[in-house]
Amino acid sequence: MRQKPVPDALLPYLEGKVLLLDKPLRWTSFDIVKKVRNLTRVIKVGHAGTLDPLATGLLIVCTGKFTKQINTYMGMVKEYTGSLVLGATTDSYDLETTPENFKSIDHLTTEQIQQATKSFIGEILQMPPQHSAIKKEGKPLYLSARKGIEVKVDPRKVTIDCFEITNINLPTVSFRVVCSTGTYIRSLVKDFGEALGVGAYMSGLRRTKIGDFHVDDAQGWEDLEKEINELLTKA
């Protein structure tokens, strides 16, 4: 695809910018990339780490020559906050699919829930969700999963630096996780539920940090749109 002429007002985006964006719920990470391309008229746009459609929060987007830095940002430690529901599971490990396999959680204590996080600290092996964008033979797993076909994938080594329970209001538990790149928080939640013997699925997720970048410093999509339209108007 050839680069069409970019308006002078938007040349900084062609030269290269790092955008901190707060991804809205139900948008895919690639939705953001496509929208930035259309808005800035710059073809070379990429993001530094996928967020699932049902997650919100910090997404680093690079434009122009700064796309060369994507791997650096992608390798940075991530922080997430979220919530999970104990006593049931879903095929997708989140609310993309319907909860099932309901179990009683009446016997669980606060101490048991807090204690269960400790076995996940450090380097662990994690199985990616079938409902994920990981490709096998060039095909995203979620396409097969939606047809009820399970594809064999290998577990991955990830590092969990912090897994903190921040609030318990059963069946919902809130948490904070600091982890390496490549970690699936959905898989962590699923494994956590199995460790407690009752199952669990993720009910909410927000990425709050990537390295030293914080979501509090990120722009909403409407803010970026307004900023670029103002540049074009003044030009």
% of residues, the chain, pLDDT over 90: 77
The residue among 88 and 50 whose pLDDT is bigger is: 88
Q: Which helix (H) or strand (E) holds 208?
A: strand 200-210
Q: Is residue 133 scored above 60 in pLDDT?
A: no
Residues with a known catalytic role = 52
Task: Give the bridge partners for 107, in sequence order.
Answer: none
Question: Does the structure show a pLDDT above 90 at 219?
Answer: yes
Domains of the chain: 8-75+213-234 (3.30.2350.10), 78-210 (3.30.2350.10)
pLDDT of residue 154: 75
Q: Is the pLDDT of residue 159 over 70?
A: yes
pLDDT of 152 > 90? The answer is no
| C-alpha span between 62 and 46 (Å, rounded) | 5
The predicted structure's pLDDT at residue 3: 66
Quote the pTM value: 0.89
Where would I find the beta strands (DSSP E) of 127-199? Answer: 135-136, 139-140, 156-169, 172-179
What distance in Å separates the CA atoms of residue 113 and residue 111, rounded to the nearest whole number?
Answer: 5
The mean pLDDT value of the chain amounts to: 90
Give the per-residue pLDDT at 139.
58
Count of helices and strands (H, E) across the chain? 7, 11
